[in-house]
Amino acid sequence: MRRIEAVVFDMDGVLLDSEELWDAAREALTREAGGRWHERAQRDMMGMSSTEWSRYMRDELDVPLAPERINTAVVRRMEGLYRRGLPLIEGARPAVERLGAVWPLAIASSANRELIDLALELAGLAESFRARVSSEEVPRGKPAPDVYLEAARRLEADPVRCAAVEDSENGIRSARAAGMRVIAVPNRAFPPAPEVLAEADAVVPRLAALDQAAVTG
């Protein structure tokens, strides 16, 4: 059994029920701009950094805007949705408080940094996380391990001594590639494929089951 020194949370799909909001915001912009949305788009973009998904929308969905403008437009939509009603998942705050009482915590998210900061502020969890990393701050988004490795670096922790809490296929693969112990809380709307879920070290059905025992194994 490995000794855990820190815990790193994904945000979208783990703390926030926001994947469908991202989906709706991107689809609406695509259609309004005259692009071509398709059913694979959401799964394709899960885990991508803002640089990656804005280029995907331009190149694969034919949105006739520069990636920077696509990124800005989607983020502004998400900010408005969060301010109208943050989709905090039931049990998120107690889970963060339980684990934060034992270990230093970090966020490793594909969301833009400004959305990470806004969500944590609105949720009243801004002081719970010692480090916050957006995949836009590292060379590659998930499933590459970059965002998790950077989170461990900022926590001054060995990645092998960290546990990651994830919900998606690309997130599970990212944390595993970083060498972390992976606890999966499967995404309700976009559940990981069984073969990917099998790569997690532990699977819990909901945040209420995420406790010290689940983290340490």
Sheet holding 181-184, edge to edge: 131-134, 105-109, 6-9, 162-166, 181-184, 202-203
**Inter-axis angle of helices 67-84 and 50-59, to 10 degrees?**
120
Torsion of CA 63, 187, 39, 37, to 10 degrees: -20
The yes-or-no answer on residue 158 being catalytic is no
Distance CA 169, CA 173 (A): 6
Q: Which of 12, 17, 146, 167 is catalytic?
A: 12
Is-catalytic flag, 167? Answer: no
- How far apart CA 192 and CA 169 sit, in angstroms, is 5
Q: List Cβ neighbours of 20 (8 Å cut-off, separation of 6 or more).
A: 189
Active site residues per annotation: 10, 12
